[in-house]
């Protein structure tokens, strides 16, 4: 996800009900521009630099006040990206240094949905939907630029064109239910192929019979200083089976996985600690295991946020054997380290310098470990 995650627009149930009091206007608009200036100092594919950008604009409307639809709202979320490549061109890493890299210049409708409350405890949502706006999402890890600290690499690698996440989403039906102050459940059914892979710069819904669905469920448990997410996912369509003999292609069903993720603030203060462990069926996916961890200090020197994080993606045995059969010798894992510092300069400007070190980028033994320096600039307009 881009830096402006706008998580407040993705709450369910109780959060939706709380927003119905008098005060805010019936329609609100938020906009922000994020720019990443990145340079690969050494290693990877080649040394070089790039400027990536992301423009967000979100319109939210209270349908109860506008049309009389009880406890309902709509969201329209547009994106623009310049489409320049950094990881793909210079680093060669699979987990992607910047979470606003798209590789394609496009102006897109990213989300467009209606959400309706189900009493005081639940909500149902239908439309174009970013899975990572609610599922597999933590507050503490949102500081980091590496894409692996958004949705886990174990899920992010899946599907014909990735799941319904930044920058292309698919049609979805999502149910959220708050059982009590500690427990929450989220369930979603999504079109398994976001947009049209052959025309990735266009916003489209294509419910082809062979595409199938992505089914996702998540259980959340909160404490005063901690939060834990346990999730599982499964595709209904068939995928290529990496266990097929060299020179043959076999498709089978059963592409699925699970994850456990949590954050904790010892004593309710600094630092905020987070961790994640995810698994994806090895016969269908290049990465079987994914693990991440990190810490964020909210009141670092200078009044900013200081964070350090690690993301490790372990390749699957069937994938390695298939590559070996073709003459390649892939590395067993890719590790991404990130050190970053974010400071709010004014109410409309924030700066975030950082360093990234990628070990065995892309599992390619011919690539040296990459050192990347970068600066993220965020301008908030509305």
Q: For residue 227, what are the β-bridge partners?
A: 222, 263
Going by pLDDT thresholds of 50, 70 and 90, the confidence category of residue 208 is low
Contact 122, 12 (CB under 8 A): yes
Site of tokens 């003999």: 245
| pLDDT recorded at residue 15 | 40
| pLDDT recorded at residue 200 | 72
Most confident of 40-49, 157-166, 297-306: 40-49
pLDDT average, residue stretch 75-87: 97
Q: Distance (Å, rounded) from C-alpha 119 to C-alpha 116?
A: 9
CB neighbour class for 255 (10 Å; exposed up to 12, middle 13-18, buried from 19): buried
CB atoms within 10 A of CB 332: 10
| pLDDT recorded at residue 213 | 95
Question: Over 60: is that where the pLDDT of 16 sits?
Answer: no
Which two structure tokens, joined as six digits, stand for 28?
Answer: 């609100």
pLDDT (tens digit, 9 = 90+) per residue, 247-266?
677 889 999 999 999 999 99
pLDDT (tens digit, 9 = 90+) per residue, 323-357?
888 788 899 999 999 999 999 999 999 999 999 99
pLDDT, the chain, mean: 91
pLDDT average, residue stretch 234-254: 85
Question: Over 90: is that where the pLDDT of 276 sits?
Answer: yes
Write down the number of H helices and E strands in the chain: 4, 18
Which two structure tokens, joined as six digits, stand for 269?
Answer: 């203060």
Of the candidates 103, 99, 151, the residue with the CA atom closest to the CA atom of residue 313 = 151
pLDDT average, residue stretch 71-95: 97
Examine residue 271 and say whether the peptide bond preceding it is cis (omega within 30 degrees of 0): yes
pLDDT (tens digit, 9 = 90+) per residue, 113-147?
999 999 999 999 999 999 999 999 999 999 999 99
Type and span of the H or E element at 248 = none
Would the pTM of this model clear 0.85, i.e. be above it?
A: yes
DSSP 133-193: GTTT--SGGGG--SGGGSS-HHHHT-SSS-SSBTTB-EEEEEEEEE-SSSEEEEEEEEESS
**Cα angle: 256, vertex 126, 236; to 5 degrees:** 25
| pLDDT recorded at residue 209 | 65
Q: Distance (Å, rounded) from C-alpha 81 to C-alpha 102?
A: 7
Going by pLDDT thresholds of 50, 70 and 90, the confidence category of residue 22 is low
Q: Distance (Å, rounded) from C-alpha 203 to C-alpha 60?
A: 19
Helix (H, G, I), strand (E, B) or coil at 246: coil
Buried b (16+ CB within 10 A) or exposed e, 87-111: bebbbbbbbbbbbbbbbeebebebb
Question: Over 60: is that where the pLDDT of 217 sits?
Answer: yes
Q: Distance (Å, rounded) from C-alpha 193 to C-alpha 302?
A: 44
């Amino acid at each position: 996800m881009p830096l402006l995650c706008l998580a407040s627009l993705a709450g369910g149930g109780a959060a939706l009900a709380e927003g119905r009091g008098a005060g805010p206007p019936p329609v609100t608009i938020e906009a922000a521009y994020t720019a990443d200036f990145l340079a690969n100092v050494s290693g990877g594919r080649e040394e070089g630099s790039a400027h990536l950008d992301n423009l967000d604009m979100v319109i939210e409307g209270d349908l109860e006040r506008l049309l009389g639809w009880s406890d309902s709202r709509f969201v329209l979320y547009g994106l623009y990206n310049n489409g320049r490549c950094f990881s793909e061109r210079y680093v060669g890493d699979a987990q992607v240094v910047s979470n606003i890299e798209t590789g394609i210049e496009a102006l897109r409708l990213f989300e467009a949905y209606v959400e309706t409350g189900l009493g005081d405890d639940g909500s149902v949502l239908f439309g174009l939907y970013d899975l990572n706006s609610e599922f597999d999402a933590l507050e503490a890890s949102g500081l980091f630029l590496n894409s692996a600290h958004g949705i886990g690499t174990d899920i992010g690698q899946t599907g014909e064109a990735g799941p319904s996440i930044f920058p292309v989403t698919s049609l979805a039906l999502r149910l959220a239910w708050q059982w009590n102050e500690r427990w929450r459940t989220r369930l979603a059914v999504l079109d398994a192929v976001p947009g049209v892979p052959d025309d990735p710069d266009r916003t489209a819904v294509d419910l082809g019979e062979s595409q199938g669905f992505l089914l996702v469920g998540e259980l959340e448990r909160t404490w005063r200083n901690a939060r834990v997410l346990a999730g599982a996912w499964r595709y209904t369509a068939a995928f290529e089976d990496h266990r097929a003999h060299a020179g043959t292609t076999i498709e089978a069903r059963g592409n699925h996985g699970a994850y456990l993720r949590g954050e904790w603030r010892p004593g309710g203060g600094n630092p905020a600690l987070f961790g994640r462990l995810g698994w994806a069926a090895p016969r269908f996916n290049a990465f079987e295991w994914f693990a991440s961890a990190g810490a964020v200090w909210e009141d670092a020197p200078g009044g900013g946020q200081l964070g350090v994080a690690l993301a490790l993606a372990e390749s699957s045995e069937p994938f390695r054997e298939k590559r070996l059969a073709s003459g390649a010798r892939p590395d067993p894992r890719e590790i991404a380290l990130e050190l970053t510092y974010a400071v709010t300069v004014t109410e409309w400007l924030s700066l975030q310098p950082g360093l990234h070190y990628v070990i065995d980028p892309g599992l390619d033994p011919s690539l040296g470990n990459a050192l990347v320096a970068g600066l993220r600039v965020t301008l908030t307009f509305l």
